[in-house]
Amino acid sequence: MEPRQEITQTASRPATPATDLARTAAALVPPGKGILAADETVSTLTKRFDALEIASTPSSRRDYRELLLTTPGAEEFISGAILQDETIHQHGSAGTPIAVICNQLGILPGIKVDAGTTPLAGHAGEHVTEGLDRLRERLADYRRLGARFAKWRAVFAVGDTLPSAGCVAANAEALARYAVLCQEQALVPIVEPEVVMDGPHTIERCEEVTGSVLHAVFEALLEQGVCLEEMLLKPNMVVPGDDCARQADIGTVAAATLRCLRRHVPPAIPGVVFLSGGQRDVVATRHLDAINRAGGPKPWKLSFSYGRALQDAALATWRGKPEHLALAQRAFYHRARCNGLAALGAYDEHEEDAHLGETAPQVPAGWRDD
Ligand code: 13P
């Protein structure tokens, strides 16, 4: 670790609440709203489409993203949408650029700018996120296309000896360099260090790893001079691994997640927007709701930036069929509304029964168990 003197000299530069970036960061986490992560790469979205036998073409991917963004009323609960390179260059079916459609709806357009993960040399089983080459120029281009914020995701596998110090340091450094470049180019960085759910690890191990990753990430952010008031954090919740024999109840996840954030996330951060990370959609909503209902200090807004947990029901309902569009939009509206309520700690599980009653006859059998 650097001597304290060094860190003090390079600490986050001061911000007044009135900077444009701080205002944009705050606008992404107003009460009862969160972010739609619709930034799957072409190859990831193609895999999801393939599983549902939807042809993956530029126009089908555009139609799907447009379906989500133009869902009537979704903007009541969705403050921003993270787009992907293909999407931000596309126009909607009526010829309007997608970023303009977002702005017209009051949804801030954002952009995924990392280039994905690659195996980290010398560290078996671990990955580093790439994309720093020419990032300054790419950020400037995206800003011109209308993006107001950006996202970079780092992944950390959990094991008895993972993540290694080398993996944590390499990814923390890349996240920090990305974040400071974003702020230079007038984009709010969303910093996403994801401790993944794959594996048999316990919730206690997830808490330990998430804490040390967050510690390293904030140290790197401060060293690079990132202004904390002008960014958002997108972490995982503290949950047991998928294959852990001892799963945790909703209250335990909420308590562990809050304890970890309180210990490692500075209060200067305006918002924490969780990823869903493979949690079932209703479970992700219940966790967010429990986190917001819990007592104790919560100096940041606690909301969502879900991908799968917002989209899965809508995608499985749509299946590429224009005649399913309205029903798919209702499924998306429902999840957005439930998560908006959860961001206020005001979600009621009975919401789910009412919605299923409405849509069940037209939803393919078993789609919730995909
Ligand atoms: P999930 O909510 O599906 O984990 O996606 C969030 C995200 O943006 C991953 O980078």
| Tens digit of each residue's pLDDT (9 = 90 or more) over 171-191 | 999 999 999 999 999 999 999
| CB within 8 Å of 99: residues ≥ 6 apart | 83, 88, 109, 145, 146, 147
**121 confidence band (pLDDT: 50, 70, 90):** very high
- 136 CA from centroid of ligand 1 (Å): 24
Supply the residue whose CA is at minimum distance from atom 1 of ligand 1: 307
How far is it, in rounded angstroms, from Cα 149 to Cα 75? 17
Answer whether 335 contacts ligand 1 (Cβ < 6 A). no
The atom of ligand 1 lying closest to the CA of 277 is: 4
For residue 22, give the nearest of 261, 226, 305, 218 by alpha carbon.
226
Answer whether 309 contacts ligand 1 (Cβ < 6 A). yes
Q: Is beta strand 188-195 parallel, antiparallel or unpaired with respect to 232-233?
A: parallel
Q: Tell me: pLDDT of 352 over 90.
A: yes
Just list the catalytic residues. Answer: 192, 234
| Tens digit of each residue's pLDDT (9 = 90 or more) over 219-260 | 999 999 999 999 999 999 999 999 999 999 999 999 999 999
For residue 291, give the nearest of 279, 281, 282, 301 by alpha carbon.
301
Q: Is beta strand 34-37 parallel, antiparallel or unpaired with respect to 117-119?
A: unpaired
Answer whether 37 contacts ligand 1 (Cβ < 6 A). yes
Query: How many angstroms from the chain centroid is the CA of residue 117?
Result: 16
* Substitution candidate for ligand 1 out of 236, 305, 311 with most atoms within 8 A of CB: 305
- 4 CA from centroid of ligand 1 (Å): 35
Cβ atoms of 301 and 29 closer than 8 Å: yes
* Substitution candidate for ligand 1 out of 84, 306, 339 with most atoms within 8 A of CB: 306
How far is it, in rounded angstroms, from Cα 83 to Cα 2? 36
Answer whether 235 contacts ligand 1 (Cβ < 6 A). no
Looking at residue 355, what is its pLDDT?
Answer: 77
Looking at residue 354, what is its pLDDT?
Answer: 76
- 225 CA from centroid of ligand 1 (Å): 26
Looking at residue 366, what is its pLDDT?
Answer: 30
Token pair 């133009």: residue: 70
Q: Tell me: pLDDT of 302 over 70.
A: yes
Cis-peptide into 58, omega within 30 deg = no
pTM for this model (two decimals): 0.93
Answer whether 276 contacts ligand 1 (Cβ < 6 A). yes
The atom of ligand 1 lying closest to the CA of 310 is: 2
How far is it, in rounded angstroms, from Cα 103 to Cα 216? 35
Mean pLDDT across the chain = 93
Q: Give the type of residue at 344.
A: L
Per cent of the chain over pLDDT 90 is 90
Residue 363 has, within 13 A of its CA and on its CB side, a CA count of 22
Q: What is the pLDDT averaged over residues 128-145? A: 98
Answer whether 193 contacts ligand 1 (Cβ < 6 A). no
